Amino acid sequence: MSLLSFGFYLIIIAGSALMLLWLSRGPFFVQTRRKHLSVITAMLDIKAGEKAVDLGSGDGRLLIALANAGAEAHGYEHNPLLVMRSRRNAKRGGVSGRTFVHSENFWNADLSGFSVVTIYGIPYIMRRLEKKLQQELRPGARVLSYSFPFPSWQPAQTNKRIYVYRK
């Protein structure tokens, strides 16, 4: 193999690695456990037609559960691979007409139109997110945090590490 051919292959490999890194950008993806989906939807007491949003919607499994509970479910996910995966999962789950996956960062989104918010956040974003939700959500909105509580809010309901807050 010539030095030119070897260099060409190195460029292809490095370019592919950079492309994969870009496509998988964002925080570490952790799936919501399937056994918790029914607990989450029951705790949120979803009403038919309510608008719900999952911040960092990942593979869409929680979006599908919210849609099956009667909500119009929106997800914000900025990893394009997970956006494609969640759209495919919603279609396979028969709820693609009631689920909408937005390929953008939720920090830039206006959340005032949602009455239900779910988040599997990580501790260092919770204080900032608490302020954003306090400013944008209307009274009566429900917020569910999976695994990590908000620093200042008192939960209205808890189940192990699932916290529901009412504004």
The CATH number of residue 79's host domain is: 3.40.50.150
Is 23 a member of any domain?
Answer: no
Is 80 a member of any domain?
Answer: yes
| CA–CA distances in Å: residue 46 to residues 35, 70, 140 | 18, 7, 13
Is 27 a member of any domain?
Answer: no
- Per residue in 93-147, pLDDT (tens digit) is 999 999 999 999 999 999 999 999 999 988 889 999 999 999 999 999 999 999 9
Is 113 a member of any domain?
Answer: yes
Phi/psi region, residue 166 (left: phi>0; alpha: psi -120 to 50; beta: rest), is beta
- Per residue in 35-56, pLDDT (tens digit) is 889 999 999 999 999 999 999 9
Is 22 a member of any domain?
Answer: no
Is 83 a member of any domain?
Answer: yes
The predicted structure's pLDDT at residue 122: 84
What's the rounded mean pLDDT across residues 86-96? 96
The predicted structure's pLDDT at residue 33: 75
Is 13 a member of any domain?
Answer: no
| Distance spanning both ends of the chain, measured CA to CA | 67
The predicted structure's pLDDT at residue 10: 46
- Per residue in 11-44, pLDDT (tens digit) is 555 455 544 444 444 556 667 777 889 999 999 9
Which residue did the predictor score with more confidence, 36 or 159?
A: 159
The predicted structure's pLDDT at residue 18: 45
Number of structural domains the chain divides into: 1
Q: What is the DSSP letter of 106?
A: G
pTM, to two decimals: 0.82
Supply the range of the domain harboring residue 117.
34-166
Is 60 a member of any domain?
Answer: yes
The predicted structure's pLDDT at residue 65: 97
